[in-house]
Amino acid sequence: MESAVSLHSLVKTFGQHRAVDGISLEIPRGIIFGLIGPNGAGKTTTIRMILDIFRPDSGEVKVFGMPAGDQVKDRVGYLPEERGLYRKTKVLEMLAYQGSLRGASPSAARQEASDWLDRLELAEWKGRKVEDLSKGMQQKVQFIGAILGKPELLILDEPFSGLDPVNQDVFKDLMLDLNRKGASIIFSTHQMDTAEKLCREIALLNKGQIVLGGTLSQIKSRFGKNSVMVEFDGDGSFLQGLPGVARVDDYGQYREVRLLNGADPQALLRAAVERVTVRRFEIMEPTLHNIFIEQVGGHVAHA
Amino acid sequence: MHKLLMVIRREYLERVRKRSFWFGTLLLPLLMVGLVVVQLFLVDLETGKQGKVALVDATGKLSSIFESKLAEEKTKDGKPTFLVEVAPVAGSLEETRRRLEPRVLSGEFLGIVTVGENLDSDSNFRFYARNVGNITAQKAIQGALKAAVVGLRLEKSHLNVGPEELKKLLAPVEMESFEVKARGEAKKRGFDEAYFGTFAFVMVLYMSLLLYGVAVMRGILEEKSNRIMEVLLGSLTPDQLMSGKILGIGLVGLTQVAIYAASAGLLRLYVGLASLQAGWTGALDAISFTTMGYFFTFFLLGYFLYTSLFAAVGAVCNSEQEAQNLQTPLVMCLVIPMVMTFFFVAHPDSPYAVVASLIPLFAPMLMFMRIMVLTPPFWQIALSILLLFLTIYLFFRGVARIFRIGVLMYGKRPTVPEILKWARG
């Protein structure tokens, strides 16, 4: 089957800055794919090239096997990171307009928008102006705008940023539901834990390049089960000096310790018990966050 | 195509549904119609009614010519406007007048004309009326009196002149102005009327171009500052968005101008039937099918020319304050022809006028202005339209490029050289 999106040696520069520097990527259909990386890694630029908002300097973009362009846009729903609404327009009209831009007739778009507003408990707001809505409601309306017209591919740029926990759940459930009904989803985020929960496959971007890609399980197994999570009372500064320890990440409540290949976790446990009161000790796969930090070096700010 | 139509639809409906649009659109024609209707109404009152004039004539010899002369004035339904009642002088002129005054106040008489015995003395001829502001009536009465008095004077100087000959001798010399048109039709028109009519049209042109240019710019700025631009670009190409916006708002402008034109046309029809005073018809004479055709042509060309530039300003700025500086040169280009209207109406064929009216940025207003006052050679009109088309084509290409880059740029506004670099692609 054709990939949902395939990118080949994509390059985009702005002045002196290479925002995207030779990205090649196959995103299969039907999965939730995470485009992950710190701010400025080139995620948004890549997405904009997939949508033909930017033209690449070189390289090739194909969506469902077709070159990016006008016909493709009708099959893709897009929620940009910078998203807004016409403030003075009525909610239903705003959405009907967005739906009609994806190829529907005005009346059909209106009907679909109306159904979604009912479903997301915004029915009574249909006739109100956008500016009367709370921020959380506006976010829902924006999300509906992206999924009108049953897009085969949904591209969400930082969909969870700025959302309250309730809406985060609403969005997450919607995403999973749409995915189950067959939509391919690409979403970008700099929150590694969200990506870890939702994505089957990911690509890690840094400085315009893919530093790591594949299914989450592949990636994790490649790094081995050599992480340890320790929760304890007392001074934990000794951990860094122990033999076999590669690095220690302090999360406040607990620490994640990466071991060198071949190091014995049991030795670590013994050393810890001698010095502090251990409340929890767990051998686990490294978190995406740690993998990423390891890959790009510690000079990337914690996201 | 569907998407383009959807953008046009939204831009059009969004604006036409606003109350302020209808307020602005209907107010101007209503004001004009109102003014004219009030005028007509007043004139109707005057011309529809017969009025009686009392003549108190100490010479006793004026009444026959006075009456026959006044009888030439007819109301709309063909009856004489003035009836004359000759009041015999009893006692002094003053006393006679005083006796008649109550009948003026009661409305029976429009006024009293008194004539003393000595035709050559000052203040010998007087008109007493309740309303001395009725210029039309006074003019007619004065004319009749003049004819009668001159006749009497001639008679006294023993030149034997019959009433018919007298009429010929007294025939007024009135100069009428005619405008020479290339196609041979000559139209009666004075400078004031030409200037008034032309200025009104150019004013409407200026206001519409500015208004709708700024509307396009504001629309784009709004989409940028509300962060809705990228949402739209997820479904639209920048070209679709830009042309949809320009066409949609253009249709709004066209709707408005069409409403103006229709009301002007109706007004003219009505005025034509009612045969109003020369000043008004003269100004409205400007509204012929040819001028309307040219008006729409130059409105549309000017609209596309200026909105494309305003769109570029909107695309590269982040706020209206920022846009203020960049739009100033555009507004200047619109103001210059406005300011020069007076000069160009007076000298529509001077080399300056010819050259200026061919420059595309000025052409929509200046060429139209020249067409209004003198009908320039056809090649000049054709050339200005051709140049406008070419410029619009080039502007659109450049502006589309600026738009594509500019709309997603936030932060520092690019410099003018940078913008020009984008435009060249």
pLDDT at B276 over 60: no
Residue A192's pLDDT is 83
Residue A178's pLDDT is 92
- Are the C-beta atoms of B380 and B358 separated by less than 8 Å? yes
Residue B163's pLDDT is 67
Q: Pairing mode, if any, of strands B125-129 and B111-115?
A: antiparallel
Q: pLDDT (tens digit, 0 to 9) for every residue of chain A, 303 residues total? A: 678 899 999 999 887 888 899 899 999 999 999 999 888 888 999 999 998 888 889 999 999 988 887 778 888 999 988 888 888 889 999 999 999 998 889 999 999 999 999 998 888 999 899 999 988 888 889 999 999 988 999 999 988 888 888 888 888 999 999 999 999 999 998 888 888 888 889 999 988 889 888 888 888 888 777 788 888 888 878 888 888 888 888 888 888 888 887 788 888 888 888 888 888 988 888 888 878 877 776 544 443
| CB nearest B231 (choices: A80, A103, A155) | A80
Does any CB of chain B come closer than 8 Å to the CB of residue A76? yes
How far apart are alpha carbons B35 and B218 in whole angstroms? Answer: 34
How many Cα atoms are found within 13 Å in the side-chain-facing hemisphere of A158? 18
**pLDDT confidence band for B302 (50 / 70 / 90):** very high
**pLDDT confidence band for B245 (50 / 70 / 90):** very high
Select the more confidently predicted residue: A92 or B425: A92
How far apart are alpha carbons B59 and B72 in whole angstroms? Answer: 23
- Are the C-beta atoms of B309 and B213 separated by less than 8 Å? yes
pLDDT at B67 over 50: yes
How far apart are alpha carbons A232 and A237 in whole angstroms? Answer: 12
B50-174 under CATH 3.40.190, yes or no: yes
**pLDDT confidence band for B228 (50 / 70 / 90):** confident
pLDDT at B107 over 70: yes
The minimum CA-CA distance between B420 and chain A, rounded to whole Å, is 16
| CB nearest A83 (choices: B14, B227, B235) | B227
**Which of A265-269, B368-372, B384-388 is predicted most confidently?**
B384-388
The minimum CA-CA distance between A133 and chain B, rounded to whole Å, is 15
**pLDDT confidence band for B385 (50 / 70 / 90):** very high
Select the more confidently predicted residue: B341 or B255: B255
Contacts of B232 in chain A (CB under 8 A): 101
The minimum CA-CA distance between A46 and chain B, rounded to whole Å, is 13
Instruction: Kindly state the average pLDDT of the residues B71-98.
Output: 80
**pLDDT confidence band for B272 (50 / 70 / 90):** low
By C-alpha distance, which of A76, A75, A59 is closest to A6? A59
Tell me where in chain B the CATH 3.40.190 domain(s) lie. Answer: 50-174
Contacts of A77 in chain B (CB under 8 A): 234
Residue A191's pLDDT is 83
CATH number of A5-220: 3.40.50.300
Length in residues, chain B? 425
Select the more confidently predicted residue: B168 or B420: B420
CB contact under 8 A, A85 and B7: no
Residue B294's pLDDT is 87
Instruction: Kindly state the average pLDDT of the residues B241-267.
Output: 85
Select the more confidently predicted residue: B132 or A276: A276
Task: Give me chain B's average pLDDT, please.
Answer: 80
Q: Pairing mode, if any, of strands B82-86 and B111-115?
A: unpaired
Torsion angles phi and psi, residue A162, rounded to 5: 80, 5
Select the more confidently predicted residue: B32 or B187: B32
**B222 to chain A: nearest residue by CA?**
A86
Where is average pLDDT lowest: B303-307, B363-367, B419-423?
Answer: B419-423
- Cα A283–A287–A291 angle (5° rounding)? 115
pLDDT at B306 over 80: yes
CB contact under 8 A, A52 and B237: yes
Fold of the domain built from segment(s) A225-284: Alpha-Beta Plaits (3.30.70)
Quote the tokens at residue B9.
């639809």
Residue B184's pLDDT is 40
Residue for token digits 């994505």?
A199
Could you give the ipTM of this predicted complex?
0.81
pLDDT at B135 over 80: no
| Strand, coil or helix: A233 | strand
Mutate to test the interface with B, among A86, A91, A141 (most CBs of B within 10 A): A86
Q: Give the percent of chain B with pLDDT over 90.
A: 13
B 206-245 residues with CB below 8 A of A?
A: 222-223, 226-237
CB contact under 8 A, A83 and B222: no
Residue B273's pLDDT is 54
How many Cα atoms are found within 13 Å in the side-chain-facing hemisphere of A23? 37
How far apart are alpha carbons A13 and A54 in whole angstroms? Answer: 11
| CB nearest A84 (choices: B6, B231, B236) | B231
Residue A160's pLDDT is 87
Contacts of A72 in chain B (CB under 8 A): none
pLDDT at B8 over 90: yes
Domain ranges of chain A: 5-220, 225-284
**pLDDT confidence band for B64 (50 / 70 / 90):** confident
- CA distances to B108, B214, B424 from B395, rounded to whole Å, are 71, 17, 10
Residue B387's pLDDT is 95
